[in-house]
Structure 1
């Protein structure tokens, strides 16, 4: 199953750091994403796009995980030459992950 089938996502940025939330539609799916979507798996999923570490924060009361991806935006909004300087498409890419 793809993550988009059970969750939605939002992305924010601070400099060269991307912040991606993953929120389940139904609370009963929280345990599944907690087990299957680790910081290591997210780091591997993004591959060379993320040059730094990935931290995961758990928010069980919201049915959400929050990932902080360091060195992930080609330097950030003011210096990146990419089309997606804010990294907004990264949330959609995460939702394509098979679990």
Structure 2
């Protein structure tokens, strides 16, 4: 199934860094997402966009994750020629990732 079926996302940016949160609709899905949505898998999912590293931060009290994607916005808002310079669509792009229930 696609992540959007069990989770939602928010995004932010700072310079050439995109931050994507992943929040499951149900708390009980947190552990499954913890196993399947790794930093390595997110890096692979965004391999055409993210030129730097990907770090995953676990927020167990919130049952959520924060992913920091470095060198992901084509130089940042003031330098990028991308239509989505802020990377707001990257949150939905992450939700296209498939996971197994």
TM-score bracket relative to the smaller structure: over 0.9
Q: TM-score, normalised by structure 1?
A: 0.99
Corresponding position of 2:76: 76
Gaps of 5+ in 2: none
Corresponding position of 1:10: 10
Q: 1 CA distance for matches of 2:78 and 2:35? A: 36
Q: 2 CA distance for matches of 1:90 and 1:48? A: 12
Q: What are the superposed Cα offsets for residues 60-96 of structure 1, whole Å, 9 maximum, x if unpaired?
A: 1111010000000000000001100000000000001
CA shift, 1:44, in A, is 0.1
Corresponding position of 1:46: 46
Aligned residue pair count: 99
Q: Tell me how large the CA RMSD over aligned residues is.
A: 0.4
More helix by share: 1
Q: TM-score, normalised by structure 2?
A: 0.97
Runs of 4+ deviating beyond 2 Å? none
